[in-house]
Amino acid sequence: MLAINALFWAADGLCAIFVNIYLWRVQREFPVLLRYNLSCWLTIPAFILLAGWLSQARDRTWALRIGLALHALFYMSLLWLRESAVAHVIPLGVVLGVAMGFYYAGLHTLTFDVTAQGERDYYVGLSSFTSGITGAVAPFAAGAVIGLATGLRGYVMVFALAVVLYVLAFAMSLRLPPDREPRPFRLRAALLPPREHKDWRLVMALWAVFGGRFGIFMFIVGLLMYMASGSEMVVGGYSLVTGAIRIFGSLVVGRAVTPARRLPFMLLGALSATAAGLIMLGPINLPVVWAFGIMLAVSTPLFSIPSSAIQLDVIGRTAAEPSQRVEYVCAREVPLVIGRVMYLAVLWSLYDLLTKNLLGLRIAVCLTAATALLGYLLMSRISFVREEAARERSAPASPE
């Protein structure tokens, strides 16, 4: 799973930021990017639910493999369409949304399977470390290739390499052990949790709040970096530096955080993210975007590693049976897409301000960064998180 995830993030790192920049270079119209991203995010919920049913009815590894195959198909489509891709952004976004729905359903289910309660902070940290290395080096390499090539040839080379990496990840997924025992797919309790499942309701609220931070946020930041520098190589260097910070942070936080120490780590991460967002309210230039990226990179592992571990623990405690983990993994994508659509609606409503010193983008980035504080408040209300922190404070000091 670590190797497959690393290959996936290598391919994603090569292209994810640069697809939006590619579309921007071909046709400099922000609504094109909004339509592309909106069609992608709106597609994910239905297909992540379908992937969840497939995992239960057939085999959990099928969803992962279909997701990898469709990612390869998406970039093959870009290679075929070339500059005419701007005329097909909605179907392209749909293909990517289907691919993401299947891949993340399989990824989250298998992540739950290979970890146990008490070791998830370490696994999430190790996974973030390994995928972070590939995810940091890949954008730098892609930016160098695109910057050195003439015209749009560099994009063709990068997209082709991404296809190869997705195929390799698909081949490696064939070594995952199958799980062909059919199980029912009961979604209602996870999607519409009863009042007694307060912890899971808080997790669902967190994903709605964080809708803009996953995917869309980084596309905006990457575009801002390109606008400020005019160079794909600078965008790649930016991703390399911020990725290296996240790698080191993931390794440190993954080893240092314990269930009793999750809240302080998340609070520090939330404060760092909010401070990063505030500096974006001023004029946008290259040093400001660099400072924002570095501060955000510091905050990400501080918040995301303990938060991810808490969410997996909540699923483990809430699901009536271990086999129901798939329903909970899939259900949380629904509030996530609601948050994403709301975020894109805000961007669209601020469109008139986008050409005036990028005021609309600056406001959106600042508000999205500040949602980390609201996320901390939601996570701090989860029952066992408070209990673990209280036990840590009341435990007697061990003798030297």
Residue 10 lies in a domain: yes
- Helix (H, G, I), strand (E, B), or coil: what is residue 6? helix
pLDDT tops 80 at residue 132: no
pLDDT in tens, 157-194: 999 999 999 999 999 999 888 777 777 777 788 888 88
pLDDT in tens, 279-296: 888 777 888 888 888 898
Mean pLDDT of 250-267: 85
- Per the listing, tokens 């999750």 go with 262
pLDDT in tens, 69-95: 999 999 999 999 988 999 999 999 999
Distance CA 218, CA 246 (A): 14
The least confident of 30-39, 104-113, 231-240, 387-396 is: 387-396
Give the structural domain span for 380: 2-176+190-390
Cβ-contact 31, 349 below 8 angstroms: no
Residue 316 lies in a domain: yes
CATH number at 317 reads: 1.20.1250.20
Number of domains in the chain: 1
pLDDT tops 90 at residue 239: no
Q: Give the best-scoring range by mean pLDDT among 47-51, 207-211, 212-216.
A: 47-51
Sign of the C-alpha dihedral computed for residues 200, 131, 2 and 262 taken in this order: negative
Residue 395 lies in a domain: no
Mean pLDDT of 130-145: 82
The least confident of 239-243, 280-284, 350-354 is: 350-354
At a CB cut-off of 8 Å and minimum separation 6, what does 55 contact?
62, 63, 105, 106, 109, 326
Residue 183 lies in a domain: no
Residue 219 has a pLDDT of 72
pLDDT in tens, 22-48: 988 888 777 888 889 889 888 888 888
How far is residue 315 from each of residues 71, 76, 125, measured CA to CA in Å? 28, 36, 19
- Confidence bin at 391 (pLDDT 50/70/90): low
pLDDT tops 90 at residue 272: yes
Residue 400 has a pLDDT of 45
Residue 396 lies in a domain: no
Mean pLDDT of 216-238: 79
Amino acid letter, residue 170: F
The least confident of 53-67, 191-205, 304-318, 342-356 is: 342-356
User: Greatest CA span in the chain, whole angstroms?
Assistant: 70
CA–chain centroid gap for 139, Å, is 16
Cβ-contact 135, 319 below 8 angstroms: no
Residue 380 — left, alpha, or beta (φ > 0 → left; ψ -120 to 50 → alpha)? alpha
Residue 376 has a pLDDT of 92
Mean pLDDT of the chain: 83
Token reading at 120: 């998830």
Question: 257-270: b or e for each residue (b if 16 or more CB lie within 10 Å)?
Answer: bebbbbbebbbbbb
Residue 141 lies in a domain: yes
Counting residues of the chain whose pLDDT is more than 90, the rounded percentage is 20
Mean pLDDT of 95-117: 82
Token reading at 230: 């005019």
Distance CA 199, CA 314 (A): 7
pLDDT tops 80 at residue 369: yes
Residue 181 lies in a domain: no
Angle between helices 232-256 and 286-318 (to 10 degrees): 40
Counting residues of the chain whose pLDDT is more than 70, the rounded percentage is 90
How far is residue 75 from each of residues 42, 93, 124, 166, 175, measured CA to CA in Å? 19, 11, 28, 10, 24
Residue 398 has a pLDDT of 47
- Helix (H, G, I), strand (E, B), or coil: what is residue 213? coil
Residue 400 lies in a domain: no
